[in-house]
Structure 1
Amino acid sequence: MPEPAHLGIDSLIGDWLDHPTGRTVLIDLLARRSPDARALYAMRMLPLSALVTVSGGVVTTDYLHLMVQAANKLIDLKPGHSATAHLFPSAAPPAPNDWEEPIVEGRFHGKTVVVSGAASGIGRATVLRVAREGGHVLAIDLSTLRMEALLEENPELDITGVVADISNQEDVNKIAVQARGRVDGLAVVAGIADNMVALHEVEDELWESVFRINVDGPFRLSRAIIPLMLARGSGSIVNVSSQAGLRGSIAGAAYTASKHAVIGLTRSAAYIYSPRGIRVNAVIPRPTRSALESNYGSLGGAGPLPSPTFTSPEIESAQVASPMTYLLSDDAANVTGAILPADEGWGVA
């Protein structure tokens, strides 16, 4: 199919992606307003003008007209013209669901990893990644039904399920006993959102509930597991925080304060336990659809939201589980106290 001589606002997004100059303008300019340029793949058959509606007005018609003018001006220039020398050739980004989980065979062989919030979203993806890489996983979740589904769907993996509430001390004691004296890694994923409630509207019940799960839970579970790591002189803890732990525009008062607390807990523990062989880090994911469908996982709030993504929920969660399992593994032997964004660049906008 011949490339169009010129591109317009009514040209298909696919035509822009397939045209060398059009692709350069589309990716290098439009992507500045949306970190998730991969979503363009799912809109190949739509006209460029559809981006006004799809973006919710973030991309304006005037901006698209400027893009069209810039693209056509560059198309009319002779190849190698100095006016285009500053532009890097931009290949189209990979399609949203083309990512494949890079399993590292045997990375967790002989290791036991405890994962909370284990039966859905990021927690479930972390369980599966560790188990597929040879580890034994003690999977913790409050939902009996989700736990049963996790175990029934993965009978070939070394997963032990425990239905427990990590904010309840009796349940945490049960988890510690189930660990049978050895834990090499702990991933604390369980958490709840706060419905984006402003400070003066927060009721005691909401505040206490959010802090009980998001702060008391990681505190109690870590407190129970750390002595098992100290006894061996090694271990890795990975907490899940949120962009709400870094800024105030993402969620309500309770969730924001709780995720700031998780980062503080992470940094304090990293400082105290690093000389004793225990690494403590935190991962900051972007809001994922799996979190929106569950009471567990990191959830965005009233502030700036990431661009729409056409990635499947399973891949979304697995892409966050990837840096989590890196930090849990010996690959990150010299990494502690890190607050690692896993948000496709959303947090730098």
Structure 2
Amino acid sequence: MPNRQHLSTESLIGDWLENPAGRTVLIDMLARRSPDARALYAIRELPLSSLITLSNGRVTTDYLQLLVEAANRMTDRTPGDTTTGHLFASAPPPAPDDWEEPLIEGRFRGKTVVVTGATSGIGRATAVRVAREGGHVLAIDLSTLRMEALLEKNQDLDITGVVGDISNQDDVNKIAVRVRGRVDALAVVAGVADNMVALHEVEDELWESVFRINVDGPFRISRALIPIMLSRGVGSIVNVSSQAGLRGSIAGSAYTASKHAVIGLTRSAAYIYSPRGIRVNAVIPRPTKSALESNYGSLGGAGPLPSGPLTSPETEAAQIASPMTYLLSDDAANVTGAILPADDGWGLA
């Protein structure tokens, strides 16, 4: 008889992932509640029963018992048994930090790329990757301290820092002067969240602040730099929107409306400027550890897994910077008007 190791609700999640039947059940069934099955690695030292507490009761004891029964039936099944035929043998997904950034040497050589929100999170990862691939980066951010840290840590890269507010027209005018008549691409990353404030609770100050940063900023910096792109007949703009730009369950009214506006701005500009050589696209990341503070809760508000860090902030941000830099580069020469999810399927739930 084969050695059939049964699992229980008190078996460690790591044991479930290492057991072929247990891994299959978790990926095929539990992961449907949260598309990022890799999140399980973050809690592999906890027993399966801990999901009850971590999910605030959305995962029940009865549900976990069904998983146990399915895994153990799969372990015990004989050839030709079809009771678990809907399950398939699954290899373990790679651990999040196994991902390595695939640099493309020289992809941005000779190009000037403006990156806003450039000193943290996605903006920092995008700025550094463009520079590592040979580009000159004009890094824009409000924080003097973070700008100093960015430049200090990357002295070997061609990054010029500008402390400024892209929602302020005087600052934007200064940025336009600093590009010295040439800008090949613009990544608009800077943004602010609203902490799930309902429509009837939104105060004027919050509404105006969120729209000033999330909508006025992209509008003003794009308006200033597009004429420079038009003068050369080529350019690429990549905006960062959000799942809140696609659906209403992610954030409060102000942030949701602002990110819908970013998508509208992207699509309108893509249509208008496509015949004139300028591509405009947007990336939809999943919530990513950065300076942008927000109360997102658990994954999508519906998954059973905790919202704690599943990868290092640097890895998460770099994974979003990868499609960002693709769209900024000539690799995406025929791509415009795309609203590209970069969320591990997070938005499919």
Q: Same fold by TM-score, threshold 0.5 exceeded?
A: yes
**Given residue 324 of structure 1, which amino acid in structure 2 is its aligned partner?**
M
Question: Are the equivalent residues in 2 in contact too, given 1:33–1:59 (CA < 8 A)?
Answer: no
**Which position in structure 2 is the counterpart of 1:52?**
52
| Partner-residue secondary structure (3-state), 2:99 | coil
TM-score relative to the length of structure 2: 0.93
**Which position in structure 1 is the counterpart of 2:8?**
8
- Equivalent residues in 2 for 1:192-211 (5 A)? 192-211=192-211
**Which position in structure 1 is the counterpart of 2:171?**
171
**Given residue 31 of structure 1, which amino acid in structure 2 is its aligned partner?**
A
**Which position in structure 2 is the counterpart of 1:251?**
251
**Which position in structure 2 is the counterpart of 1:37?**
37
**Given residue 101 of structure 2, which amino acid in structure 1 is its aligned partner?**
E
Question: Are the equivalent residues in 2 in contact too, given 1:196–1:252 (CA < 8 A)?
Answer: yes
Distance 1:333 1:256, change over 3 A: same
Distance of 1:14 and 1:201 partners within structure 2: 43
The one-character-per-residue Cα deviations of 1:102-151 (angstroms, maximum 9, x if unpaired) are 11111111111000011111100110111111111000001111101100
Question: Are the equivalent residues in 2 in contact too, given 1:118–1:140 (CA < 8 A)?
Answer: yes
Question: Are the equivalent residues in 1 in contact too, given 2:193–2:292 (CA < 8 A)?
Answer: no
**Which position in structure 2 is the counterpart of 1:110?**
110
Question: Are the equivalent residues in 2 in contact too, given 1:287–1:300 (CA < 8 A)?
Answer: no
**Which position in structure 2 is the counterpart of 1:100?**
100
**Which position in structure 1 is the counterpart of 2:191?**
191
State the percentage of identical aligned residues. Answer: 79
| Partner-residue secondary structure (3-state), 2:183 | coil
The one-character-per-residue Cα deviations of 1:170-215 (angstroms, maximum 9, x if unpaired) are 1111101100111111000111112322222222222211111111
Consecutive unaligned residues of structure 2, counting only runs of 5 or more, are none
Distance of 1:328 and 1:275 partners within structure 2: 18
Give, in angstroms, the shift of residue 85 of structure 1. Answer: 4.3
Distance of 2:37 and 2:311 partners within structure 1: 12
Question: Are residue 229 (structure 1) and residue 229 (structure 2) matched?
Answer: yes
Distance of 1:342 and 1:222 partners within structure 2: 23
**Which position in structure 1 is the counterpart of 2:348?**
348
Distance of 2:255 and 2:26 partners within structure 1: 36
The one-character-per-residue Cα deviations of 1:305-339 (angstroms, maximum 9, x if unpaired) are 47434211111111111111111011111111011
CA RMSD of aligned residues (A): 1.8
Give, in angstroms, the shift of residue 11 of structure 1. Answer: 1.6
Distance of 2:181 and 2:74 partners within structure 1: 66
**Given residue 55 of structure 1, which amino acid in structure 2 is its aligned partner?**
S
| Partner-residue secondary structure (3-state), 2:196 | coil
**Which position in structure 2 is the counterpart of 1:142?**
142
Question: Are the equivalent residues in 2 in contact too, given 1:38–1:95 (CA < 8 A)?
Answer: yes
**Which position in structure 2 is the counterpart of 1:274?**
274
**Given residue 341 of structure 2, which amino acid in structure 1 is its aligned partner?**
P
**Which position in structure 2 is the counterpart of 1:296?**
none
Distance 1:157 1:9, change over 3 A: same
Give, in angstroms, the shift of residue 239 of structure 1. Answer: 0.4
Distance of 1:15 and 1:80 partners within structure 2: 27
Question: Are the equivalent residues in 1 in contact too, given 2:236–2:327 (CA < 8 A)?
Answer: yes
| Partner-residue secondary structure (3-state), 2:98 | coil
Question: Are the equivalent residues in 2 in contact too, given 1:237–1:279 (CA < 8 A)?
Answer: yes
Distance of 2:313 and 2:4 partners within structure 1: 36
**Which position in structure 2 is the counterpart of 1:338?**
338
**Given residue 289 of structure 1, which amino acid in structure 2 is its aligned partner?**
K
**Given residue 134 of structure 2, which amino acid in structure 1 is its aligned partner?**
G
Give, in angstroms, the shift of residue 84 of structure 1. Answer: 4.3
| Partner-residue secondary structure (3-state), 2:162 | strand
Deviates more, 1:157-166 or 1:92-101: 92-101
| Partner-residue secondary structure (3-state), 1:289 | coil
Distance of 1:43 and 1:251 partners within structure 2: 26
Question: Are the equivalent residues in 2 in contact too, given 1:251–1:302 (CA < 8 A)?
Answer: no
Give, in angstroms, the shift of residue 46 of structure 1. Answer: 2.0
**Given residue 125 of structure 2, which amino acid in structure 1 is its aligned partner?**
A
**Which position in structure 1 is the counterpart of 2:264?**
264
| Partner-residue secondary structure (3-state), 1:78 | coil
**Given residue 75 of structure 1, which amino acid in structure 2 is its aligned partner?**
T
Consecutive unaligned residues of structure 1, counting only runs of 5 or more, are 294-298
**Given residue 108 of structure 2, which amino acid in structure 1 is its aligned partner?**
F
Question: Are the equivalent residues in 1 in contact too, given 2:70–2:84 (CA < 8 A)?
Answer: no
